[in-house]
Every structure is written in C-alpha cells, then in structure tokens.
C-alpha cells in the first residue's frame, strides 16, 4: 500500500486507500454481529473447555484444584474410553456407508420421470422428521428378541430368534440399521439436487454412443456426483460420530459396554458423575479425533476428484 | 399437475386424520373428570414448588393427594414438577448450581449423602419429635430413620419404603401344581431352582426339569434375570453375608459372597434354563403377555399388574439364594434446599405434615407407607402386596451403600453385571473389573 | 421404438425398488400408528398384533389430558423457539456471508477458513461452558437460552456465502452507480435476489432446531418451557415400559405438524439445496 501511494498520483492513492479502508470497515461492520455471538458461544466456550480439562472440576464442589494433564493421563488409561471409541468408529463407518448407498439409490429412483415422484419424495423423507426418542422406541420393539415383530416374521421362514440388540457382535449393526432408516432422507435430498444438476445432454450423448444404463451411472453420474458424495460423507461422519440418543434409548450401552458410544460415555461422566473437568478432556479428545478424520477424508476424496 | 394433486391429497388426508382424532377426543375429555391445571394445585397466596420423579401411576396418586391438600388448605398453591428419576438428579445439580432449586424435593434416601455433602440440603432435625417436632421417629423402622441421616444430621422426612419383591403368575403356578401361598416360598437356592424349573415350559409343554425339555424352544420362563439386575445382585450379596464396600473402604463386590451370588443368577440362565438372557427380553412385557411365571420386581409393580395386564398375579417375597433372607429397598423422602427462607420452610412443613397424616392414601400407589402405624392399619384385601413386602423391608431390608458417589459406583457396576448375565464375561472377570473401577471412583471421593 | 421398449422395464425396476424401500420405511411407522390405537394390554400380547382388533382412542386421549403431558404447550414452545432461532440465524448469517462473499478486506480467507474448522468441534465441547454462561446470565429456563447460543451458525454463513458469490456483479455495480452504499447493495440487491436460498436455509435451520434434544433438555427446567422433543423424551422414559400406546401416540401426534411443514416446502428445500451448492454444483 505504501509503495502504491508513493509511486502513483498522490490524490488518487489516498482515494483508493480511503475506499479500501471504507470497504474494510464496512466488512467488519457486517461481520460484527455474527462475530460477537461466535466469539461468546463458540470461541470462548472452546477455550474455556480446554482450560477446564486441566482442573478437577466438579459441578457443585467449590474446590477446583489445577491438576495439569492428569485428566488426559486418566483418559489414556481408561478402558471404557477405548471401548467407546472403537464402538463409535465401527458405528460411524457402517452408518455412513449404508446411508450413502441407500440415499443415492433412492435419489436415483425418485429423479426418474415416474408417476408418484413427489409422493415417494415425501414418503422416504418421513422417518427423518421423527425425533430420536420415537425412533428408538419403535425400533426397540421391532428388534426385541422375544417379542419383536422382526423375529416373529423370521420364525415363519424357520429362522431362530436373532438377538439383535443383545449380541455384542450384532448390536452396533442393529443400531446402524436403525440410524440408516432414520437418517437417509436428508442425504437423499442432497443427492436429488446433485442429480438434477447433471446436464441431460451428457446422458443423451452417451446413449447415442450406445452406453447402457449401468455405463451411464458408472461413467457419468458417479464421477459428476463426487463432490456431493464428499459432502454427504463428511457431514455424515461429523454427525454420526456424535451418536448418543440411539444407544441411550435402545440399549443403555449394553450388552455389557458393547454399545457405549463416545458421547454416551461423555454424558455419563458429565451428568451422572458430574466430573466436568474429565468430561471436558474427553470432549476435547473427541474434537481432535473428528478434526483428524475429516481432514483425512477431505484429502483422500478430493484427490480422487481431481483425478 | 399430478404431483400437485398428490400433495393436496396427502395434506387433505392428514388434516382429515387430525380431525378424526380430535373430534372423539374432545367428547371423551368432556366426560372425564375435569383435570387440574398443569401440575398446579390450588390458587392460594403461599406458593410451593415441588419436584419429584414419580412418573407413572404413583405420580397420579401423588397428584391426587396434592389436589386434596390444596382443597383443604386454600391458602396454598403447589406446583408439582414430575421429572424421571434418572434425569431428576442431573437437573437438580444444575438447579442448585444456578441457585434456583425448588422449595421441596422428593428423592431417595440414597441421594441424601451426595447432596448433604455439598451443603445444599436443610437440616430437618428440628421437625422430629425427639427434638420437639411433629414427626415421630419411633413410628418408622430403624433402618428407615438411618437412611434419612448423613454424618449425624437428619436431612429428610420419609414417605415410603419401596423395594424388591416378586410377582408371580398364579395361573401358571396352579397349572404346575405349585402352591401360591407366599408362606410356602423356598428359602434356599436348590428349592428355588426346582420351583422355577417347574414353571418353565417348552413348546411341547415339558418343564425344565424334564429330560425331554427343549431349552431352545421355551414358551414360558420361570424367571427373568434381566429385570434391574443390580438390586437383585445387592440382595443376593447380602444374603450370602457380603457387602458392596467393606468397613475399611474396600470395594468387595468380587468377594466370595459376590461371586457366589452372581454365579447363581448366571446359572439360572445357562445351567438351569429357567430364565432368558437379559438382552433383548422385555421383562414387563414378558410378564404381561403370559410368558413369564415369576418376575423379580417390586412394590411399584402393583398398579401395572392389576390395571395393565390380563394376568392373574400376586406379590411374593424376594427370592432367597443365600443363608439369610435379604431384600433391597429404597426410601422416597422429602428434602428441602438449604437456601430455603423461613417462610417457605414453614409452608413446606405444613404440606409435609398433611402428607404424613395422610400416608395411607399413598398405599394406593403400591408403595409401602413409611409410618409403621399406617402400615399396620392397611386393609388386607386392597393392599396385600404393600403389607407383605412392607414386612420384609422392615425385617430384613437393606439400603444402598451410604456414600457421595454411590450412583457413580453403580454406573461402573451395571455394565459388568449385564456382561456376566449375557455370558460375555466370566463372573470373576466381570466382578473384578467392576471392583477395580468402583474402587477408583471411591478413592477419588475420599 | 427401441427407447420406448427399454423405458418400460427400466421403470418397472424403479417401481419395484421404490416399493420395497417404501415398505422398509413405512412399516415401522405404520406399527407406531397402529399401536397408538391399541390398549396397554393389546400391545403386550403375543403373537404381536399389527392391526388393532378393537381400535381405541384411550391412549391418544390420555396423552392429551395427562397432567404432566402438555403437548400443546410444548408444541407452541418448539415453534416459538425454532422460529426465533431461525430468525436469529438469518439476521446474523446473512450480513456475515455478504461480507465474505462480496467485500474485500484483509483476513477474509483466513477468517472464513477458521470458521469452517469450527464446524468440526462437537457441540458437547461447548456444552458445559455455555451451560455455566447461561447460569451466569440467568438465561436458564428462558427462550434466550434456546435461541442465542447456537445462533452464530457457521453452516449458515457457508451456505449463504456460496450463493451470494454466484450473484452477477453487474447488478450490484448498477446499484452503486445509483448511489447505493454497502448496506444498500446488501439490502436492495443481494437479499431480494437470494430469497430462495434464504428460505431454504431457514427451513433447514428450523427443522434441525425443532428436533434438537440435548441442549434444550439441559437448559430448560420447567414444564412450561420444555420443547416437544424434551417432553417426548421424558414421556418416553417415564411411560414407555407401561404405557406404550400413549408414548407412541405422543410421538405420532407431534410429528404431524413438522410433516406438514415438510410437505408444503418440499420443493423449495430441494431447490434450496441446488442453489446453495450443497449438491455439488
């Protein structure tokens, strides 16, 4: 800026400067309301959470001694933390992959020029409008080993009752299935929008070249939807990694601790034991893991797009 | 065009549905008793806010009592807030932090230590007759009185004893040729197993003692270990002479007594085939649908058993697997925040005096009134379960371990019990792991 | 002729697939609706009944008259809180997005990148500090606590910025020639052109807030300030064991208003997604 005002016409230089600074001022004015709230409720809260994680902070106890990294040391040695982490990773992987596939298939189907298009769009989105409480209540009953309607149906096929929520190897997939049922509607909408954005000429040209429907999907739809898939999977990981309501309502973390999720465990620490300091340490670690996972996803998936 | 039509049709359908739903409802509502405004009773000048966790039928009984109180004492207005127990404690902590506690709280005796330790509860000692007050400590059982205290200070006024007992399906007992008289209940593990096997049936009608019995195809279970396993374990632990925490502050759930207690329960599932594994089995529905002969439950089961099922049933005393009888019970007790003003405390005192004088009404909830004189006056036709189970609590009831971190220790114990009962871990491993974590919790609190 | 013939089987497959998926989606909800019309005894019977033998309004009646259940009140609270929140998000995010999209100022990209990174921070990190702040501000149990803490919605800024960037700049230049200042450009040019994007964002934000459970649960204390999901969660944990039909009818009744909102705005929602570039365009 300095060099500019020296080299150029003095008056004009000052004028650009004032214009620029006016624009800067205006920008800050436009940003100000948002930034005030952002600073108070996000920045301050995050800083505060990190600070709390270095204290033995119990909600009603007046004494809150500084204990350094003790909370983090405890966390590394906490078996339940590692179990919860493993469960959460498996759940997130199953749910994100399942949701993406179902949502994409549904979106392709409801963008075909068929009758009842909007009917299906409304119908398929309906579960997403339910609260997690209702979803949990319905599915707990469906998946009940003894009295569940799913096992009742299977019995006619001669299949023995399956212990959906009681088998440690099945409980996470069962919760995942419930979550896919509940949550595929929103990604479906995003895929619909993505599909509508693909120019029809591309398909016509490919058909003239003799491409089959499968070819069209594999060589036109999928590559062009990559940014959409990136968006769906990244937001999917962010939201499903924070799963809490499903285990809380459907299994209370059981059998044993087979369906403890990270946030479920965090809730226990913070709101059953009221150990806010340790809870803050757990929350900070969850945030770091999520940040790392999302970054990796971005790097891997966006490289593919360039290719 | 077609799409628009579908939309309009769907909308119309929904609106029609709502209309259909709302029309008969309003007529039904007119027939029903006029219900008081949202948990607020009376319209007097003196206001009392009151939190409790009495969801379900005992909450209905409580609200009826409050309505009657407000009727007789028009100078009061009681606002009752029902919050489920598991969340009540979280909300309460939050309310204390925010310095907005209610004027009156109904909690369990087991919460007294934690909240008393934080200094947020009021000393109610002066309300007891021994200190010149109105509540007679000689009219409650000794163990009930002890549950009101923490480090020598009395913080609560008891409402009831509620605890563990069994409910049996009498038709199934009759069909198996077993006596339904509670006095004939076995007093050792082997006899209990025999009884449970007699009322466990497979699809061909063979009972679990029969060599032909098909354990893969059970249609009627003798017992269900999945119903609140913790209090069953605590009862059985005491029956074997064990305790959760020893006098010198060591967690002893993995003592010989603890291992024996849990192993016996696990064996009911995998050895004697009289109970399904806990996971995926809805015990209340099991009893209600006629698939369970004996359910370990408690005083609170009465109204469900009577009103919500087609089952002919009755209360029985807790199972006895060890050398001595023991059964877990809890106490609903009233507490006041330490920050209460003298005027508020006086108003609340009037309400509690009234409730204590009318404790007999509380028996309608299924729970056992805390006052022994009221227990003695209950009529045997309407309140058989209250009387039967109430006696067991007074004779051999055990309370939760007294500490500020009991709930947190339970949070470490419950998943391990669940793991053992679902055969994911051996009994020893489960209890050792539980003891280790519980000890950490306890040590932190010291 | 050829395409005519190939279209038919192709659509048959689509219909078969949609029917199967539709059944998978509908069946659980159908069960919920059907059980709302059963008695407490009937839902507990074995084998399970799919259609109530003697339909009854008992459960629906009690969910609407039970003293500790105030669906009407909770619905009102949810609508007020979600509307207030939506308004707050739009008021805060639109100007910020305008600054990021249309104005040049030092640190623009760095600041925007910083905002995006914070999307990854789970809400549980900020939960406890924000709870304590609510206490200090004496906002517990008030609508303020439901509206303001989440109002600085980074996602909203992101979506609106994507859209504002696409608005052709000649329109704005014309406004500048007419003497419009920065606010005039924002208010008279950008906003009117972005009505669809704003509507879409508004609906998303509304729907998400309407179903939010955790935060409202922690910050509301009394019957009068509860929102619908909180009330339903409490209804669930209090009655699910014994009064299934009642809990289910509560869930069914309370999802009707939101379903209507969705049906009305269905097209705008998809349009909004396309416009804001989430669909990858």
Please state the domain count of chain A.
2
pLDDT value for A77: 93
Q: What is the ipTM of this complex?
A: 0.83
Whether residue A7 has pLDDT greater than 50: no
CB contact under 8 A, B424 and A163: no
pLDDT mean over A223-252: 87
> CA C192, CA A84: separation in Å to the nearest integer?
48
* Residue of B14, B35, B38 to mutate, testing the C interface (most C Cβ within 10 Å of its Cβ): B38
Q: Does B44 touch chain A (CB under 8 A)?
A: no
Asked if A23 lies within 8 A of C103 by C-beta distance, the reply is yes
Question: How many other CB atoms sit within 10 Å of the CB of residue C172?
Answer: 19
Asked whether the beta carbons of A247 and A264 are under 8 A apart, the reply is yes
pTM of the full structure: 0.83
Same domain? For A98 and A198 the reply is yes
Reported as a single tens digit per residue, the pLDDT across B21-77 is 333 333 333 322 322 323 678 888 899 999 988 876 777 788 889 999 999 999 999
Average pLDDT across chain A, whole number:
86
Q: Which residue of A254, A277, A279 to mutate against B (max B Cβ within 10 Å)?
A: A254
Least confident of A24-38, B226-240, C263-277: C263-277
Q: Would the CB atoms of A61 and B424 count as touching at under 8 Å?
A: no
Does the beta carbon of B277 lie under 8 angstroms from any beta carbon of chain A?
yes
Which pLDDT band holds residue A32 (cuts at 50, 70, 90)?
very high
Across the interface, which of B18, B28, B91 has its CB nearest the CB of C57?
A: B28
CB B411 within 8 A of CB B336: no
Chain C residues 159-188 with CB within 8 Å of chain A: 181-183, 186
Which homologous superfamily does the CATH classification assign to the domain defined by B164-328+402-445?
Answer: Periplasmic binding protein-like II (3.40.190.10)
Under an 8 A CB cutoff, do B280 and A61 touch? no
Please judge whether A30 and C152 are an interchain contact, meaning their C-beta atoms are less than 8 angstroms apart. no
Say whether pLDDT at A116 is over 90.
no
CB–CB contact A165 B279 (8 Å): yes
Domain boundary among A33, A52, A71: A52
Residues of chain C with CATH 1.10.3720.10: 63-275
pLDDT recorded at residue B336: 97
Query: What pLDDT score does C2 carry?
Result: 41
Q: Which residues of B touch C44 (CB under 8 A)?
A: 285, 288-289, 308-309
Q: How confident is the model at residue C237 (pLDDT cuts 50, 70, 90)?
A: low
- Rounded Cα gap, residues C99 and C69, in angstroms: 46
Q: Is residue A60 part of a domain?
A: no
d(CA B426, CA B108): 32
Using one digit for the tens of pLDDT, what is the confidence trace for C148-157?
A: 998 999 988 9
Please report the pLDDT score of residue A13 as a whole number.
52
**Cα A45 to the chain's mean position, in Å?**
21
Segments forming the whole domain that contains residue A35: 2-52
Rounded mean pLDDT, C58-71: 74
pLDDT of residue B279: 82
C63-275 folds as: MetI-like fold (1.10.3720)
> In this predicted structure, what is the pLDDT of residue A19?
73
Could you tell me if B90 lies within 8 Å of chain A, comparing CB atoms?
yes
Chain B: closest CA distance from residue A217 (Å): 26
pLDDT exceeds cutoff 80 at A37: yes
Strand partners, B149: B154
Higher pLDDT, residue C198 or A101: A101
Which chains does chain C touch, 3 or more C-beta pairs < 8 A? A, B
- Please provide the average confidence, as pLDDT, over all residues in chain C: 81
Among chain B residues, the shortest Cα distance to A164 is held by: B280
Tell me the per-residue pLDDT of C3-47, one tens digit each, with 9 for 90 and over: 444 455 667 888 899 999 999 999 999 988 888 888 777 777 777
Chain B residues 324-383 with CB within 8 Å of chain A: none
The model's pLDDT over A276-292, given as tens digits with 9 standing for 90+, comes to 899 999 999 998 898 88
Asked whether residue A8 falls in the same domain as residue A136, the answer is no
37-56 of A, contacting C, C-beta below 8 A: 37-38, 40-42, 44-46, 48-49, 52
Q: What is the mean pLDDT of residues A69-98?
A: 95
pLDDT for res B182: 95
Residue of B nearest to A248 (CA): B86
pLDDT at A30: 94
The partner residue sitting opposite A24, judged by closest CB among C29, C48, C106, is: C106
Residue C225: Cβ within 10 Å count: 20
C279–A contact, CB cutoff 8 A: yes
Instruction: Indicate if A37 and A150 belong to the same structural domain.
Output: no
Q: Return residues 78-117 of C near A (CB < 8 Å).
A: 91-93, 95-96, 98-100, 103-106, 108, 111, 115, 117
Between CA B337 and CA B96 the distance in angstroms is 9
Inter-chain touch C22–A283, beta carbons under 8 Å: no
Dihedrals φ, ψ of B223, to 5°?
-155, 160
Chain C within 8 Å of A269 (Cβ-Cβ)?
Answer: no
Q: Would the CB atoms of C46 and B63 count as touching at under 8 Å?
A: no
The CATH T-level fold of domain B40-163+330-398 is D-Maltodextrin-Binding Protein; domain 2 (3.40.190)
The percent of residues in chain A predicted with pLDDT above 90, rounded, is: 37
Q: What is the pLDDT of residue B409?
A: 93
Whether chain A has a CB inside 8 Å of the CB on C30: the answer is no
pLDDT in tens, A211-222: 888 888 888 888
Out of C107-116, C138-147, C155-164, C235-244, which region has the weakest mean confidence (pLDDT)?
C235-244
CATH code of the domain covering residue A105: 1.10.3720.10
- B323, B333, B332, B295: which is closest to B396 by C-alpha? B323
- Asked whether residue A133 is assigned to any structural domain, the reply reads yes
pLDDT at B228: 92
Q: How far is C239 from chain B (nearest CA, A)?
A: 6
Q: Which residues of C touch A249 (CB under 8 A)?
A: 236
Q: Select from A229, B117, A221, B106 the least CA-distant residue to C278.
A: A229
Which ranges of chain B have pLDDT less than 50?
Answer: 1-2, 14-38
Domain ranges of chain B: 40-163+330-398, 164-328+402-445
pLDDT at C1: 37
Taking only Cα atoms into account, the Rg of chain C, rounded to an integer number of angstroms, comes to 24
Supply the pLDDT for residue C280.
47
Chain C contact present for A119, CB below 8 A: no
Most confident by average pLDDT, A170-174, A245-249, C231-235: A170-174
């Amino acid at each position: 800026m300095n060099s500019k005002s020296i080299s150029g016409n003095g008056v004009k230089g000052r004028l650009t400067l004032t214009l620029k600074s006016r624009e800067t001022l205006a920008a800050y004015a436009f940003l100000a309301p948002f930034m005030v709230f952002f600073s108070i409720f996000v920045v301050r809260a995050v800083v505060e959470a990190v600070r709390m994680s270095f204290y033995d902070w119990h909600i009603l106890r007046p004494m809150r001694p500084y204990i350094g990294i003790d909370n983090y040391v405890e966390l590394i040695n906490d078996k339940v933390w590692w179990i919860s982490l493993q469960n959460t990773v498996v759940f997130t992987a199953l749910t994100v992959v399942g949701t993406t596939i179902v949502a994409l298939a549904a979106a392709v189907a409801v963008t075909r020029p068929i009758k009842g298009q909007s009917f299906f769009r409304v119908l398929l989105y309906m579960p997403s409008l339910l609260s997690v409480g209702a979803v949990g209540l319905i599915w707990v009953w469906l998946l009940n080993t003894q009295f569940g309607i799913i096992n009742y149906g299977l019995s006619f096929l001669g299949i023995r009752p399956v212990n959906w929520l009681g088998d440690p190897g099945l409980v996470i997939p069962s919760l995942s299935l419930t979550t896919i049922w509940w949550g595929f509607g929103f990604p479906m909408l995003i895929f619909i929008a993505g599909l509508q954005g693909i120019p029809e000429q591309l398909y016509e040209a490919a058909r003239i070249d003799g491409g089959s429907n499968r070819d069209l999907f594999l060589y036109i739809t999928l590559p062009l939807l990559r940014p959409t898939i990136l968006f769906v999977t990244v937001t999917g990981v962010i939201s499903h990694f924070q799963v809490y309501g499903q285990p809380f309502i459907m299994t209370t973390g059981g059998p044993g601790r087979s369906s403890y999720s990270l946030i479920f465990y965090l809730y226990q620490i913070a709101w059953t034991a009221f150990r806010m300091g340790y809870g803050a340490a757990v929350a900070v670690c969850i945030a770091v893991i999520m940040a790392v996972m999302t970054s990796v996803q971005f790097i891997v998936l966006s490289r593919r797009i360039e290719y | 065009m077609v799409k628009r039509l579908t939309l309009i049709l769907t909308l119309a359908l929904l609106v029609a549905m709502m209309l259909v739903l709302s029309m008969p409802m309003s007529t039904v509502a007119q027939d029903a008793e006029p219900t008081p405004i949202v948990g607020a009773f009376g319209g007097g000048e003196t206001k009392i806010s009151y939190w409790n966790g009495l969801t379900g039928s005992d909450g209905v009984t409580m609200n009826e009592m409050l309505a009657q109180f407000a009727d007789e004492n028009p100078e009061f207005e009681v606002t009752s807030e029902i919050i489920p127990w598991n969340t009540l404690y979280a909300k309460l902590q939050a309310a204390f932090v925010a310095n907005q506690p209610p004027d009156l709280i109904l909690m369990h005796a087991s919460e007294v230590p934690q909240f008393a330790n934080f200094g947020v509860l009021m000393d109610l000692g002066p309300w007891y007759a021994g200190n010149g007050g109105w509540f007679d400590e000689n009219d409650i059982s000794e163990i009930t009185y002890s549950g009101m205290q923490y480090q020598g200070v009395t913080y609560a006024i008891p409402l009831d004893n509620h605890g563990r007992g069994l409910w049996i399906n009498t038709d199934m007992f009759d069909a198996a040729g077993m006596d339904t008289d509670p006095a004939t209940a076995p007093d050792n593990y082997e006899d209990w197993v025999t009884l449970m096997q007699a009322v466990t049936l497979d699809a061909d009608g063979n009972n679990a003692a029969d060599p032909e019995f098909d354990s893969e195809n059970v249609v009627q279970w003798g017992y269900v270990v999945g119903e609140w396993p913790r209090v069953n374990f605590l009862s059985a632990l005491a029956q074997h002479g064990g305790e959760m925490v020893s006098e010198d502050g060591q967690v002893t759930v993995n003592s010989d007594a603890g291992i024996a207690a849990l192993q016996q329960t696990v064996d009911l599932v995998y050895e004697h085939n009289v109970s399904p594994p806990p996971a995926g089995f809805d015990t209340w529905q099991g009893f209600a649908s006629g698939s369970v002969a004996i359910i370990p439950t408690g005083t609170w089961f009465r109204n469900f058993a009577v009103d919500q099922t087609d089952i002919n049933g009755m209360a029985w005393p807790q199972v006895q697997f060890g050398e001595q009888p023991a059964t877990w019970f809890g106490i609903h007790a009233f507490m006041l925040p330490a920050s209460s003003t003298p005027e508020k405390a006086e108003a609340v005192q009037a309400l509690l005096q009234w409730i204590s004088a009318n404790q007999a009404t509380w028996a309608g909830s299924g729970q056992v009134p805390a006052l022994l004189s009221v227990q003695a006056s209950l009529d045997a036709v309407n309140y058989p379960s209250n009387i039967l189970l109430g006696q067991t609590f007074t004779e051999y009831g055990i309370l939760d371990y007294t500490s500020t971190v009991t709930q947190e220790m339970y949070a470490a114990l419950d998943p391990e019990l669940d793991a053992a009962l679902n055969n994911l871990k051996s009994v020893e491993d489960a209890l050792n792991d539980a003891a280790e974590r519980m000890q950490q919790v306890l040590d932190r609190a010291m | 002729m050829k395409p005519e013939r190939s279209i038919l089987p192709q659509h048959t497959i689509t219909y078969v697939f949609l029917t199967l998926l539709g059944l998978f989606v509908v069946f659980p909800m159908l069960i919920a609706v059907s059980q709302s019309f059963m008695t407490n005894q009937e839902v507990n019977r074995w084998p399970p009944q799919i259609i109530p033998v003697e339909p009854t309004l008992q459960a629906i009646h009690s969910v609407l008259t039970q003293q500790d259940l105030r669906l009407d009140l909770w619905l009102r609270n949810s609508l007020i809180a979600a509307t207030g929140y939506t308004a707050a998000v739009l008021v805060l995010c639109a100007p910020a997005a305008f600054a990021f999209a249309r104005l040049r100022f030092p640190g623009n990209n760095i600041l925007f990148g910083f905002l995006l990174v914070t999307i990854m921070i789970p809400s549980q990190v900020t939960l406890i500090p924000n709870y304590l702040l609510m206490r200090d501000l004496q906002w517990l149990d008030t609508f303020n606590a439901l509206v303001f803490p989440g109002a600085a919605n980074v996602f909203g800024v992101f979506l609106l910025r994507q859209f504002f960037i696409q608005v052709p700049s000649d329109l704005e230049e014309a406004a500048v020639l007419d003497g419009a200042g920065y606010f005039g450009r924002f208010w008279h040019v950008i906003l009117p052109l972005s009505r669809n994007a704003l509507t879409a964002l508004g609906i998303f934000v509304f729907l998400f807030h309407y179903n939010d459970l955790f935060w409202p649960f922690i910050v509301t204390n009394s019957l009068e300030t509860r929102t619908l999901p909180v009330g339903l969660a409490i209804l669930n944990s209090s009655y699910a064991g014994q009064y299934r039909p009642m809990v289910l009818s509560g869930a069914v009744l309370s999802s009707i208003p939101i379903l209507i909102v969705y049906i009305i705005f269905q097209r705008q929602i998809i349009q909004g997604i396309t416009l804001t570039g989430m669909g990858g365009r």
